Amino acid sequence: MRKKTWTSATGVLMVVLFASLMMGGLTSCKSKKKLAREKAAAEYAARVEQAKKTLTAILDGTTGWTLDEQQKQFDTIKSYNIDDPQVKDLMAKVSEKLKGEQAEAARKAEEQRLRDQEAAKRKADMEKFKSLNDAFSQIAQSATYDGANQRIQQTLTLFSTPEVPVLIIIDQQQGFNDYDRPTTIGKFLNYLKDMRAYKFAVESVKKDAQGKITELELIKK
Average model confidence (pLDDT) for the chain?
Answer: 88
Stretch 17-29: mean pLDDT, rounded?
Answer: 56
Q: Which residues touch 63 (CB under 8 Å, ≥6 apart)?
A: 54, 57, 69, 70, 73
> What is the per-residue burial (b if ≥16 Cβ within 10 Å, else e) of 160-196?
beeebebbbbeeeeeeeeeeeeebbbbebbbebbeee
Q: Secondary structure of 194-211 in the HEC alphabet?
A: HHCCCCEEEEEEEECCCC
User: What average pLDDT does this structure show over 178-203?
Assistant: 95
Q: What is the pLDDT of residues 110-155, one digit of tens each?
A: 999 998 998 888 778 778 899 999 999 999 999 999 999 999 999 9
CA–centroid distance for 79 within its chain: 25
What is the distance, to the nearest Å, from the Cα of residue 166 to the centroid of all Cα atoms in its chain?
A: 39
Interatomic CA distance for residues 164 and 184, integer angstroms? 5
Using pLDDT thresholds of 50, 70 and 90, give the confidence band for residue 6: very low
Q: With a cut of 70, say whether residue 48 has pLDDT above it.
A: yes
Contact present, 152 and 139 (Cβ < 8 Å): yes
Q: Are 166 and 219 in contact (CB under 8 A)?
A: no
Please check whether residue 216 is in contact with residue 202, taking contact to mean a CB–CB distance below 8 angstroms: yes
